[in-house]
Amino acid sequence: MSTQTATQQEREAFTFDDLAVVMGTYNEAEAIGSVLEDIDSVTDGRAEVVCVDGSSDRTPEIAREHGATVIEQEPQGYGVAVREAVLTPDRPVVVTTDCDDTYPMERLPDFLDEINDGADVVSGDRLYYGADEMPGMNKLGNELFALLASVLMGERVHDTTTGMRAYRREVVQKIAWTENTGLSAELLMRPLMRGYDVRERPIEYDERKGETKLDPFSGGAAIAKSIVRVALEERFR
Protein backbone atom coordinates (compact mmCIF):
# COMPACT_ATOMS: atom_id res chain seq x y z
CA MET A 1 0.00 0.00 0.00
CA SER A 2 1.42 3.41 -0.96
CA THR A 3 1.93 6.14 1.62
CA GLN A 4 -0.58 8.34 -0.20
CA THR A 5 -3.25 5.60 -0.16
CA ALA A 6 -2.62 4.87 3.52
CA THR A 7 -2.91 8.56 4.36
CA GLN A 8 -6.21 8.85 2.48
CA GLN A 9 -7.63 5.85 4.30
CA GLU A 10 -6.46 7.11 7.70
CA ARG A 11 -7.98 10.56 7.17
CA GLU A 12 -11.35 11.05 8.81
CA ALA A 13 -14.25 11.28 6.39
CA PHE A 14 -15.53 14.70 5.43
CA THR A 15 -18.86 15.69 6.99
CA PHE A 16 -21.31 18.53 6.38
CA ASP A 17 -19.10 20.63 8.66
CA ASP A 18 -16.46 20.44 5.90
CA LEU A 19 -18.89 21.42 3.13
CA ALA A 20 -19.53 24.76 1.43
CA VAL A 21 -22.39 25.14 -1.06
CA VAL A 22 -21.81 28.08 -3.41
CA MET A 23 -23.69 29.81 -6.21
CA GLY A 24 -23.83 32.92 -8.31
CA THR A 25 -27.17 34.71 -7.93
CA TYR A 26 -28.87 37.27 -10.13
CA ASN A 27 -32.49 38.29 -9.53
CA GLU A 28 -33.59 34.93 -8.13
CA ALA A 29 -35.90 36.17 -5.37
CA GLU A 30 -38.57 33.70 -6.47
CA ALA A 31 -36.41 30.62 -5.86
CA ILE A 32 -33.46 31.44 -3.62
CA GLY A 33 -35.35 30.96 -0.35
CA SER A 34 -36.48 27.46 -1.29
CA VAL A 35 -32.97 26.45 -2.38
CA LEU A 36 -31.41 27.67 0.86
CA GLU A 37 -34.09 25.97 2.95
CA ASP A 38 -33.36 22.70 1.15
CA ILE A 39 -29.63 23.02 1.80
CA ASP A 40 -30.25 23.81 5.45
CA SER A 41 -32.62 20.85 5.83
CA VAL A 42 -30.36 18.31 4.12
CA THR A 43 -27.17 19.38 5.95
CA ASP A 44 -28.78 20.14 9.32
CA GLY A 45 -27.63 23.73 8.94
CA ARG A 46 -23.98 22.68 9.08
CA ALA A 47 -22.92 23.53 5.52
CA GLU A 48 -21.55 26.98 4.74
CA VAL A 49 -23.49 28.76 1.99
CA VAL A 50 -21.94 31.48 -0.18
CA CYS A 51 -23.84 33.57 -2.73
CA VAL A 52 -22.02 35.95 -5.07
CA ASP A 53 -24.77 38.33 -6.05
CA GLY A 54 -25.37 41.03 -8.64
CA SER A 55 -29.12 41.33 -8.21
CA SER A 56 -31.38 44.35 -8.34
CA ASP A 57 -34.22 42.54 -6.52
CA ARG A 58 -34.41 41.13 -2.96
CA THR A 59 -32.23 38.09 -3.64
CA PRO A 60 -29.32 39.19 -1.37
CA GLU A 61 -31.66 40.13 1.48
CA ILE A 62 -33.43 36.79 1.30
CA ALA A 63 -30.11 34.95 1.19
CA ARG A 64 -28.85 36.75 4.29
CA GLU A 65 -32.12 36.06 6.09
CA HIS A 66 -31.42 32.36 5.52
CA GLY A 67 -27.91 32.61 6.95
CA ALA A 68 -25.93 32.69 3.70
CA THR A 69 -22.78 34.72 3.23
CA VAL A 70 -23.46 37.19 0.43
CA ILE A 71 -20.71 38.80 -1.63
CA GLU A 72 -22.16 41.61 -3.73
CA GLN A 73 -20.54 42.53 -7.04
CA GLU A 74 -21.57 44.32 -10.20
CA PRO A 75 -23.09 41.90 -12.75
CA GLN A 76 -20.20 40.58 -14.86
CA GLY A 77 -21.54 37.26 -16.06
CA TYR A 78 -22.01 33.72 -14.81
CA GLY A 79 -18.38 32.68 -14.69
CA VAL A 80 -17.14 35.72 -12.81
CA ALA A 81 -19.70 35.17 -10.06
CA VAL A 82 -19.26 31.41 -9.79
CA ARG A 83 -15.45 31.62 -9.88
CA GLU A 84 -15.59 34.04 -6.94
CA ALA A 85 -18.04 31.76 -5.15
CA VAL A 86 -15.91 28.66 -5.69
CA LEU A 87 -12.69 30.27 -4.46
CA THR A 88 -14.15 32.09 -1.43
CA PRO A 89 -14.85 29.29 1.12
CA ASP A 90 -12.06 27.72 3.15
CA ARG A 91 -13.87 24.44 3.74
CA PRO A 92 -12.25 21.42 2.05
CA VAL A 93 -15.28 20.39 -0.06
CA VAL A 94 -17.10 22.84 -2.32
CA VAL A 95 -20.40 22.13 -4.09
CA THR A 96 -21.67 24.43 -6.81
CA THR A 97 -25.37 24.74 -7.54
CA ASP A 98 -27.75 27.10 -9.29
CA CYS A 99 -30.22 29.25 -7.41
CA ASP A 100 -33.28 28.49 -9.58
CA ASP A 101 -34.44 25.39 -7.65
CA THR A 102 -33.66 22.98 -10.51
CA TYR A 103 -31.07 20.86 -8.70
CA PRO A 104 -31.72 18.15 -6.07
CA MET A 105 -30.11 19.28 -2.83
CA GLU A 106 -31.08 15.93 -1.32
CA ARG A 107 -28.18 14.48 -3.32
CA LEU A 108 -25.59 16.44 -1.32
CA PRO A 109 -24.88 13.43 0.96
CA ASP A 110 -24.27 11.24 -2.10
CA PHE A 111 -21.83 13.74 -3.57
CA LEU A 112 -20.00 13.98 -0.24
CA ASP A 113 -19.80 10.18 -0.11
CA GLU A 114 -18.15 10.16 -3.54
CA ILE A 115 -15.55 12.69 -2.38
CA ASN A 116 -14.88 10.52 0.68
CA ASP A 117 -14.47 7.57 -1.69
CA GLY A 118 -11.61 9.38 -3.41
CA ALA A 119 -13.25 11.47 -6.13
CA ASP A 120 -11.75 14.88 -6.84
CA VAL A 121 -14.78 16.13 -8.79
CA VAL A 122 -18.34 14.76 -8.79
CA SER A 123 -20.49 16.10 -11.61
CA GLY A 124 -24.27 15.84 -11.71
CA ASP A 125 -25.52 14.49 -15.06
CA ARG A 126 -28.91 16.11 -15.69
CA LEU A 127 -29.46 14.34 -19.01
CA TYR A 128 -29.27 10.75 -17.76
CA TYR A 129 -32.93 10.61 -16.70
CA GLY A 130 -34.13 12.57 -19.71
CA ALA A 131 -34.30 16.09 -18.22
CA ASP A 132 -37.93 16.35 -19.29
CA GLU A 133 -38.33 19.71 -17.53
CA MET A 134 -35.53 21.24 -19.59
CA PRO A 135 -36.58 23.23 -22.71
CA GLY A 136 -35.98 21.20 -25.86
CA MET A 137 -33.48 23.63 -27.37
CA ASN A 138 -31.48 23.73 -24.16
CA LYS A 139 -31.44 19.95 -23.93
CA LEU A 140 -30.21 19.59 -27.50
CA GLY A 141 -27.55 22.22 -26.91
CA ASN A 142 -26.32 20.46 -23.78
CA GLU A 143 -26.14 17.15 -25.60
CA LEU A 144 -24.10 18.77 -28.38
CA PHE A 145 -21.78 20.47 -25.90
CA ALA A 146 -21.09 17.11 -24.26
CA LEU A 147 -20.44 15.48 -27.62
CA LEU A 148 -18.08 18.27 -28.67
CA ALA A 149 -16.15 18.10 -25.41
CA SER A 150 -15.95 14.30 -25.59
CA VAL A 151 -14.49 14.37 -29.10
CA LEU A 152 -11.94 17.05 -28.24
CA MET A 153 -10.87 15.42 -24.97
CA GLY A 154 -10.93 11.83 -26.20
CA GLU A 155 -13.00 10.83 -23.19
CA ARG A 156 -16.77 10.51 -22.97
CA VAL A 157 -18.65 12.98 -20.82
CA HIS A 158 -22.41 13.36 -20.71
CA ASP A 159 -23.21 16.80 -19.27
CA THR A 160 -20.51 19.46 -19.51
CA THR A 161 -22.67 22.41 -18.43
CA THR A 162 -24.38 21.12 -15.30
CA GLY A 163 -24.40 23.59 -12.43
CA MET A 164 -24.22 20.98 -9.66
CA ARG A 165 -20.78 19.59 -8.87
CA ALA A 166 -18.68 18.75 -5.82
CA TYR A 167 -14.96 19.56 -5.76
CA ARG A 168 -12.08 19.07 -3.42
CA ARG A 169 -11.09 22.63 -2.61
CA GLU A 170 -7.44 21.87 -3.26
CA VAL A 171 -8.29 21.00 -6.88
CA VAL A 172 -10.13 24.24 -7.67
CA GLN A 173 -7.33 26.25 -6.07
CA LYS A 174 -4.63 24.67 -8.22
CA ILE A 175 -6.20 25.59 -11.58
CA ALA A 176 -6.41 29.04 -13.17
CA TRP A 177 -10.02 29.42 -14.30
CA THR A 178 -10.42 31.65 -17.35
CA GLU A 179 -13.91 31.28 -18.81
CA ASN A 180 -17.08 33.27 -18.13
CA THR A 181 -20.20 31.93 -19.85
CA GLY A 182 -18.39 28.63 -20.41
CA LEU A 183 -17.08 28.20 -16.87
CA SER A 184 -19.28 25.16 -16.15
CA ALA A 185 -17.64 23.25 -19.00
CA GLU A 186 -14.19 24.45 -17.95
CA LEU A 187 -14.73 23.31 -14.36
CA LEU A 188 -15.26 19.78 -15.66
CA MET A 189 -12.78 19.67 -18.54
CA ARG A 190 -9.57 21.00 -16.97
CA PRO A 191 -9.59 18.60 -13.99
CA LEU A 192 -10.50 15.67 -16.24
CA MET A 193 -7.74 16.42 -18.76
CA ARG A 194 -5.22 16.80 -15.93
CA GLY A 195 -5.86 13.32 -14.63
CA TYR A 196 -7.97 14.06 -11.57
CA ASP A 197 -10.60 11.55 -10.48
CA VAL A 198 -13.72 13.02 -12.11
CA ARG A 199 -17.00 11.14 -11.83
CA GLU A 200 -20.38 11.84 -13.41
CA ARG A 201 -23.45 10.78 -11.47
CA PRO A 202 -27.11 10.98 -12.62
CA ILE A 203 -29.30 13.59 -10.96
CA GLU A 204 -32.90 14.63 -11.36
CA TYR A 205 -33.56 18.03 -12.92
CA ASP A 206 -36.65 20.08 -12.07
CA GLU A 207 -38.41 22.95 -13.80
CA ARG A 208 -36.71 26.24 -13.00
CA LYS A 209 -38.36 29.01 -11.02
CA GLY A 210 -38.03 32.45 -12.60
CA GLU A 211 -36.78 33.46 -16.01
CA THR A 212 -33.57 32.16 -17.58
CA LYS A 213 -30.83 34.78 -17.97
CA LEU A 214 -28.89 33.08 -20.78
CA ASP A 215 -29.67 33.75 -24.42
CA PRO A 216 -29.70 30.30 -26.09
CA PHE A 217 -27.92 31.48 -29.24
CA SER A 218 -25.23 33.90 -28.06
CA GLY A 219 -24.78 31.95 -24.85
CA GLY A 220 -24.59 28.66 -26.70
CA ALA A 221 -21.96 30.01 -29.06
CA ALA A 222 -19.90 31.30 -26.13
CA ILE A 223 -20.04 27.91 -24.41
CA ALA A 224 -18.99 26.07 -27.59
CA LYS A 225 -16.04 28.44 -28.04
CA SER A 226 -15.02 27.88 -24.43
CA ILE A 227 -15.10 24.11 -24.87
CA VAL A 228 -12.83 24.31 -27.91
CA ARG A 229 -10.48 26.81 -26.25
CA VAL A 230 -10.14 24.87 -23.01
CA ALA A 231 -9.60 21.54 -24.80
CA LEU A 232 -6.85 23.00 -27.01
CA GLU A 233 -5.17 24.77 -24.10
CA GLU A 234 -5.11 21.56 -22.07
CA ARG A 235 -3.85 19.51 -25.03
CA PHE A 236 -0.87 21.81 -25.50
CA ARG A 237 -0.33 22.78 -21.86
Rounded to whole angstroms, the Cα distance separating 231 from 193 reads 8
Is the pLDDT assigned to residue 110 strictly greater than 60? yes
CB 154: neighbour CB atoms within 10 A?
9
pTM for this model (two decimals): 0.91
The string of pLDDT tens digits covering residues 63-95 is: 999 999 999 999 999 999 999 999 999 999 999
Q: What is the pLDDT of residue 143?
A: 97
Most confident of 6-10, 51-55, 210-214: 51-55
pLDDT value for 148: 98
For 131-159, what is each residue's pLDDT tens digit? 898 999 999 999 999 999 999 999 999 99
- Dihedral, CA of residue 89, residue 84, residue 137 and residue 27, to nearest 10: 90
- Residue 237 is predicted with a pLDDT of 83
Mean per-residue pLDDT, 28-48: 96
No. of helices (H) and no. of strands (E), the chain: 9, 7
